[in-house]
Chain A
Amino acid sequence: MSQVRVLVGTRKGAFILTADGKRERWDISGPHFAGWEIYHVKGSPADPNRLYASQTSGWFGQLIQRSNDGGQTWEPVGNQFVYDGVPGTHKWYDGTPHPWEFARVWHLEPSLTDPDTVYAGVEDAALFRSTDGGQSWQELAGLREHGTGSSWQPGAGGMGLHTILLDPSRPERMYIAISAAGAFRTDDGGQSWRPINRGLKSEYIPDPTAEVGHCVHRIAMHPSRPDVLFMQKHWDVMRSDDAGATWFEVSGDLPTDFGFPIDVHAHEPNTVYVVPIKSDSEHYPLEGKLRVYRSRTGGCEWEPLTKGLPQRDCYVNVLREAMAVDSLDDCGVYFGTTGGQVYASADSGESWAPIVRDLPAVLSVEVQTLP
């Protein structure tokens, strides 16, 4: 019978939640790396037992951990992230030039085909790649140096590269997103990049339709339709049908279009999930009701999913990396909260139950569907 493995990064360690295909009884292991911030844990699609974790600390800096046995044991691998050449400057909060400084790894994206190849999205925003299982890291500097980098500015949470999407049909194509610079695409394996933000409108920047400067929170794609992208922006839920060349708004009837995560159903490319959050200064659900919203039409028409979720006095947030889906039939949907709950739905979002309720604040959730 199939098995599901949920990889949870929290403010104080990593947790691994496993269940069989029924997804009713869960085993919980952890905390792994207790006391450290675990920004992201993700498994290799080419070898599900190969996991990578970003372990970080304000005291002791960045570590990358690798597991070859599905998270039972770990070993630290390379943690030297050095920008290529003389990295120059980006804009600081006050508009002055600020040198690029490595702070941490926000996101790890293993290759679709090679367990030893993995991409790292870092703060200050840059993309690194390892082809030796994380032992050494090289920057793909074409992103930072494509022309707009000196005008990038951090959002309140730092200038992090958080989204890395690999196109399964075109190995040379990759999408990334940066807070608060926007979305970018490469068609040559990361050598050259272009901003792909046309159609985004952000009232919080001087030119609301500028080429860069948009606070993109997350982008999602269905592997069967890689030219269709869904985006949760700081405000606005957006969609592109042309690989990011142009975007249009699909917030539709959402009660608020602010939020962080967005994901796509494993078997229905037009079924999309978001978690609406009240506002940019009130990072909690509207009316204290935790509701996932689902669109089955690729956006615009949205329905609240509430069964099993708290519908009063709930003031948690769901961060950008903290939602994922499994590929079982029926599709499982998972998300973690800043209150330490990890909720799971084994029926595409119709009903929910907490797998675990009292973890440290959840930073990231990834799911592996195992044979």
Chain B
Amino acid sequence: MIRVVLPAHLRTLAHVGGEVTLAVDAPATQRTVLDALEAGYPMLRGTIRDQVTQRRRAFVRFFACQQDLSDEPPDAPLPDAVATGAEPLLVVGAIAGG
């Protein structure tokens, strides 16, 4: 199972308290994880990536295993530790004021 940690506003929107766990066929990629996330939580569509272009929203980042994966190709395999569930994929809202 893939573990995904959402930012607080998206946890509220999706009515989830902690991590989300998702069953994703190998190889796990950003795209397959987000596909599974949006299938399970349709209210998240459009909040992490554009619904048409599927491009990551500018102020959303993807971190895992102390790495910034935000600019990795969406079809690149995620780190083994994410794929095995040892480490979560973190969806992070960029730091900003206001």
Q: Which residues of A contact B (CB under 8 A)?
A: 11, 34-36, 57-63, 76, 79-80, 82
Of B47, B96, B98, which contacts A60 at CB under 8 A?
Answer: B47
Determine the distance from Cα of A195 to Cα of B76 in the docked complex, in whole angstroms: 50
B residues 50-98 in Cβ contact with A at 8 Å: 51-52, 57, 59-60, 93-94, 96, 98
> How many A-B contacts at CB < 8 Å in the complex?
42
Asked if B43 contacts A76 (CB within 8 A), the reply is yes
Closest to B94 in A: A59
Q: Which residues of B contact A (CB under 8 A)?
A: 7-10, 12-13, 43, 45-48, 51-52, 57, 59-60, 93-94, 96, 98
Residues of A close to B48: CB separation below 8 A? 60
Closest to A37 in B: B98
User: Known contacts being A76-B13, A80-B51, A82-B52, is A59 close to B60, with CB within 8 Å?
Assistant: yes
Asked if A61 contacts B9 (CB within 8 A), the reply is no
Closest to A62 in B: B46
Asked if B52 contacts A79 (CB within 8 A), the reply is no
Closest to A35 in B: B9
Closest to A80 in B: B51
Determine the distance from Cα of A76 to Cα of B9 in the docked complex, in whole angstroms: 14
Determine the distance from Cα of A61 to Cα of B93 in the docked complex, in whole angstroms: 12
Asked if A61 contacts B94 (CB within 8 A), the reply is no
Residues of B close to A62: CB separation below 8 A? 46
Asked if B52 contacts A61 (CB within 8 A), the reply is no
Asked if A60 contacts B45 (CB within 8 A), the reply is no
| 15 residue pairs from A and B, CB less than 8 Å apart | A11-B98, A34-B12, A35-B8, A59-B59, A59-B93, A60-B9, A60-B10, A60-B48, A62-B46, A63-B43, A63-B46, A76-B13, A79-B46, A80-B46, A80-B52
Residues of A close to B12: CB separation below 8 A? 34
Residues of B close to A58: CB separation below 8 A? 59, 96
Determine the distance from Cα of A61 to Cα of B43 in the docked complex, in whole angstroms: 12
User: Known contacts being A79-B45, A80-B46, is A61 close to B13, with CB within 8 Å?
Assistant: no
Question: In the complex, how many angstroms separate the beta carbon of A89 from the nearest chain B beta carbon?
Answer: 18
Closest to B60 in A: A59
